[in-house]
Amino acid sequence: MLGLAKRIGAKFLLTSTSEVYGDPLEHPQKETYWGHVNPIGVRSCYDEGKRTAETLTMDYHRGAGVEVRIARIFNTYGPRMCLDDGRVVSNFVSQAIRKQPMSVYGDGKQTRSFQYVSDLVDGLVALMEGEHVGPFNLGNPGEFTMLELAEVVKETIDPSATIEFKPNTDDDPHKRKPDISKAKELLNWEPKISLREGLPLMVKEAQSLLHPQGRRIPDDFFSIQEAYVPKASQHSF
């Protein structure tokens, strides 16, 4: 893609990730932090893949003059998310709607900071329209433990929802929260929608796709899904 951008003179956006910080020793994470990543662990193909993508993007920028922008996207959620993608917000929301216990991995004290999708889109547009290459953290600094997230999902969907503890995956980052002062200053951007405001917007759509008693496919299911979900996962609800 960088080669193509160089050939045709396109502006190139790399949607990188907070995973470049690994299991961070600096908190909150600033763009100047180089990260703490296990290079041979189960997550490293993703973490190191994204780190290499940042390297290549900067090399094409410096060496070939490609106009690039780099965003480091922190955990994001919202309507049209694939409800069986295995991420924590999609899992908790679909489990609570289906009256299944919410699966908390590990002790549930690890933290993440959840950003509503429209805030991310605004940040990406500001980045592409601005003059600065980045990298920029794009995320919501509101930090929650997974137990706190389960509590918010419970309040939003079903006060009788329960949790169950499951073993955590290897190398799971213990905490994650963006320092967004660089994006505030240079892109004039900051998120506007808190988790308690954004979650009900996602839940509303999820409730129309899932039904507590099992599968229910609304009339517009395939038109919604075809537009936003890769072919391979279209039939997996």
Beta carbon of residue 73, minimum distance to ligand UDP (angstroms, whole number): 11
Name residue, tokens 């990543």.
37
Classified as helix, coil or strand, 224 is helix
Name residue, tokens 């922008």.
69
Q: Which residue, 134 or 139, has its beta carbon nearer to ligand UDP?
A: 139
Beta carbon of residue 108, minimum distance to ligand UDP (angstroms, whole number): 6
Beta carbon of residue 37, minimum distance to ligand UDP (angstroms, whole number): 13
Active-site residue among 21, 33, 46, 60?
A: 46
The residue ranges of DSSP E strands in the chain, in sequence order, are 12-17, 68-73, 76-77, 102-105, 111-113, 115-116, 136-138, 143-145, 163-166, 210-211, 214-215
State the residues that interact with ligand UDP by CB under 6 A.
Answer: 75, 87-88, 91, 103-106, 110, 112, 146, 168-169, 172
Q: Which residue, 88 or 126, has its beta carbon nearer to ligand UDP?
A: 88
Q: Which residue, 9 or 167, has its beta carbon nearer to ligand UDP?
A: 167
Annotated active-site residue 46? The verdict is yes
Classified as helix, coil or strand, 210 is strand
DSSP 102-143: EEEETTS--EEE-EEHHHHHHHHHHHHHSS----EEES---E
Q: Give the residue numbers annotated as catalytic, written as ranges.
A: 46
